[in-house]
Structure 1
Amino acid sequence: MNRVGQKILIVCDSSKSLIDFRGKLIEQLVQNHQVSVFTPQITHQSIREKLSQLNVDVYENKLDGSNVSVFADLKFIGQLYKLIKKVRPDVFFPYTFKPVIYGTLLAKLCKVKKITPMLTGLGYNFTQEGKTGLLSYITRRLLKFSLGKNRRLKIIFQNKDDYQTLLDHKILTTKHKVAIVNGSGVDLEHYEYTMPDASNISFLMIARLINAKGINEYYEAANNIQSQYPDIQFRLIGAYGPNVDAISDELYNKIKSGKTITYLGEVHDVRPYINDASVVVLPSYYGEGVPRCLLESMAMGRAIITCDSVGCRETIETAAEPNGFLIPAKNVNELVSKMEFYLNNRDTVRSYGINGLAYARKKFDVNLVNTEMLKIMQLN
């Protein structure tokens, strides 16, 4: 392989995201450049094999992006500093909060030529519930310090609302160099269109089991619908674990019982489950970048219901060819109403799904997004 070009260091807080979210970008980068990744320990052999096939240099750590540990974070900072000095990257690309905060600061200190952090959503720290907490306050202060204006720094957002939020909080100013891309994109060849079942409608939600993703709203809506339509199936995919905003044990036990929702836990490949669903639901008010599960569902031709909230609203085409509905956050009645719309207008399950695929092709094709990413990194 021709390894001319520049050295790129990618830092993340999830090894799974390297292939799921950045796989196509890495494939393009390695064609002409040397790519290294600094990732939490890789537990799936398939991820390790894929990175090896791409000739990516892999360095592992024990970072946990969801939990607070001063000792673990300090260790991560020390390891990352040594790695930057060792690799001497031309382009430094961290994404998600901890890699962005710590990595951007270290990259400045080490005088990396091009620093392109990506904020893949602002998450819990800027929600109404989260922004009053001490941890969120500290996160915002660190973010402001780390993202201080620098001629070598260009910050990447996945939606315009996040950029405006950081301006409003005076974390950024209009003098900062920024770019906005359409999420992480979706591989339209990997997530192929299949015709949804409009005669036996079922609903699917894909999300971590945290409150701000709208888990309770989905559960309550499912209860309501099943009281009138007992044969309608509701499924839920997503990890449950320690998190500052994790759902209550009571709600988790209700979900796990299987009486209302079929809970499938975390799965390696969502495609078979999207294929089996008629409509995909994400009533999130979390502070998303652009939700990947909705892009995957649109690519496979599924109608959607989501919230009129940051990141989520990017996925709905509300003009002449609608692909789904935006509902107010935390509004179970509106969620039920839109579910009933699909049940009472079954032809829209397929027509909205086809519209969603067209919208994904137009705006979210991973190849279009990655072309923009290469321009931002000045690697095109």
Structure 2
Amino acid sequence: MSDVILSPPDQQIATLPEEPQLRPLAKVAHVINGEFYSGAERVQDLLGKCLPSFGYDVSFVCLKPGQFAESRSASVGPIYDLPMRSRLDLWKAKTLADLIKQENFEIVHAHSPRNAMIGMGAAYLANVPFVYHVHSPTSRDSTHQFRNWVNQRIEQVSVTRAEKLVCVSNSLAAHMKSLGVPESRLAVVHNGVPQVFDVPYRELPVGDWTLGTVALFRPRKGLEVLLEAMAQLRERGHQVRLRAVGRFETPDYEQKIKSLVTQLRLAEAIDWVGFTNDVVSEFAKMDLFVLPSLFGEGLPMVVLEAMATGVPVVATDVEGVTEAIIDGESGIIAIPNDPNNLAQRIESILIGTVDWRAMRRNAMERHAESFSDMAMARGVASVYDEILQRTPAVLETV
């Protein structure tokens, strides 16, 4: 156990749940990468915050310690650093199994192919149930086909011992079923983000429009497509600016994007914000949120966050997006990897063909009904309840 590092005490301070549970907490170890803080990490963070309301105490085990520990907003539950020396450092499964026994964890819940491999082995050695969270289609997770193939094979082998696979969208559940996972082992729990109760009233933008996008910028996010669409819109006389929130995955990709910006003469029309923990305040500075992903999504958290804050969304037709957005009603759906179509769909809002005010109102209502963080936690807790044969927690509103 000497290579398990427990984060400082200030990261272990638990807060009282918003809705008190009336049964003893069962302990769950969420095995994560922890290197970045993006969509999947936001899910993990919110589950750590909300699951105690449904009878489950969450701890995190980071196999690639990094940005998660310093960026998570909830700060609930301890973080154990268990850094892998390489992708093949399978001995970490034994170390994790020892930790599971020592801390009396009742479920191991993994979130990526790497930590599925370690989590599965540790759960087997410790004789506790194993759950796997499917955040995106591994076979289409990046532009590196060999890496995708390797990760898919690791995932397929690792999930054979999973009691349940939690898929963040129906499209992902169908994808896993096509790979041979029995339907009885699949559960769909849509992602969710906190409801924003004090969204300020906003007037319809006139003249200048600020387009926004939030991502860990990498090739499959389609930033090039958005830049080309934006250049078209400016050529047609629309005064649009871009507010880009997030960091680049690699320096090489950043250089490629900045070169394209220069080529399209957009340098003066883009604000590069970088990474921020306060995404909600960034949405308040956007008139439209654009997610131009090419592929490889599950149910994008940033789409839900934009909906919650009343920022109309234009997103491409990739996995999970159409489960959150109703085209023309609570958002706009565009064709992936098609700058012309993306420009046309954005323009339909700029010229008033689509009602910006109605879309804003409908998006907030749809989020509140179906995509809150508590709804997500309730769904995951129901999976745990089924596995442990527990009666669902009885909640009382304070």
TM-score range, shorter chain: 0.7 to 0.9
2:294 counterpart of 1:285: yes
Q: 1:18-49, CA deviations, whole angstroms, 9 ceiling, x for partnerless residues?
A: 98434443234446554322124355886589
Give the drift of 1:201.
2.1
Give the direction of change, closer, same or farther, for the CA distance of 1:279–1:251 in structure 2 (3 Å limit).
same
2:239 to 227, 231, 238: 231
Give the direction of change, closer, same or farther, for the CA distance of 1:323–1:137 in structure 2 (3 Å limit).
same
Kept in 1: contact 2:310–2:361 (CA 8 A) = yes
- Residue type of the alignment partner of 1:96: S
Kept in 1: contact 2:120–2:161 (CA 8 A) = no
Aligned residues: 359
Give the drift of 1:86.
2.8
Give the drift of 1:189.
3.4
Which stretches of structure 1, 4 residues or longer, exceed 6 Å deviation after superposition? none
| Range moving further from structure 2, 86-95 or 204-213 | 86-95
Give the direction of change, closer, same or farther, for the CA distance of 1:241–1:347 in structure 2 (3 Å limit).
closer
1:126 to 136, 140, 143: 140
Give the direction of change, closer, same or farther, for the CA distance of 1:255–1:144 in structure 2 (3 Å limit).
same
Give the drift of 1:280.
0.4
Give the TM-score, by structure 2 length.
Answer: 0.79
Give the drift of 1:96.
2.9
Residue number in structure 1 paired with 2:176: 166
1:272 to 281, 290, 294: 281
Give the TM-score, by structure 1 length.
Answer: 0.83
Residue number in structure 1 paired with 2:24: 4
Kept in 2: contact 1:279–1:349 (CA 8 A) = no
Kept in 2: contact 1:204–1:279 (CA 8 A) = yes
CA distance in 2, matches of 1:282, 1:293: 8
2:117 counterpart of 1:95: no
CA distance in 1, matches of 2:178, 2:151: 16
Give the direction of change, closer, same or farther, for the CA distance of 1:139–1:376 in structure 2 (3 Å limit).
same
2:47 to 11, 15, 25: 25
Secondary structure in structure 1 of the residue aligned to 2:160:
coil
Once the two structures are superposed, the pairs formed by residues 1-380 of structure 1 within 5 Å of their partners are 4-14=24-34, 16=37, 20-30=42-52, 32-39=55-62, 40-41=64-65, 51=75, 54=76, 56-62=77-83, 69-70=86-87, 73-74=89-90, 76-77=92-93, 79-112=95-128, 114-123=129-138, 125-126=139-140, 130=144, 133-148=145-160, 153-170=163-180, 172-174=181-183, 176-183=184-191, 185-189=192-196, 192=199, 194-195=201-202, 197-199=204-206, 200-229=208-237, 231-242=239-250, 247=253, 249-255=255-261, 258-318=267-327, 322-345=329-352, 348-378=355-385, 380=392
Give the direction of change, closer, same or farther, for the CA distance of 1:145–1:193 in structure 2 (3 Å limit).
farther
| Range moving further from structure 2, 9-18 or 281-290 | 9-18
- Larger relative CO (CA 8 A, sep 6+): 1 or 2? 2
CA distance in 2, matches of 1:311, 1:48: 24
- Residue type of the alignment partner of 1:341: S
Give the direction of change, closer, same or farther, for the CA distance of 1:260–1:208 in structure 2 (3 Å limit).
same
Secondary structure in structure 1 of the residue aligned to 2:274:
coil
- Residue type of the alignment partner of 2:285: D
- Residue type of the alignment partner of 2:256: E
Runs of 5+ in structure 2 lacking a partner? 1-15, 17-21, 393-398
Kept in 1: contact 2:31–2:109 (CA 8 A) = yes
- Residue type of the alignment partner of 2:333: L
CA distance in 2, matches of 1:301, 1:48: 23
Kept in 2: contact 1:118–1:156 (CA 8 A) = yes
CA RMSD after TM alignment:
3.1
Secondary structure in structure 1 of the residue aligned to 2:267:
coil
Runs of 5+ in structure 1 lacking a partner? none
Give the drift of 1:83.
2.4
Secondary structure in structure 1 of the residue aligned to 2:60:
strand
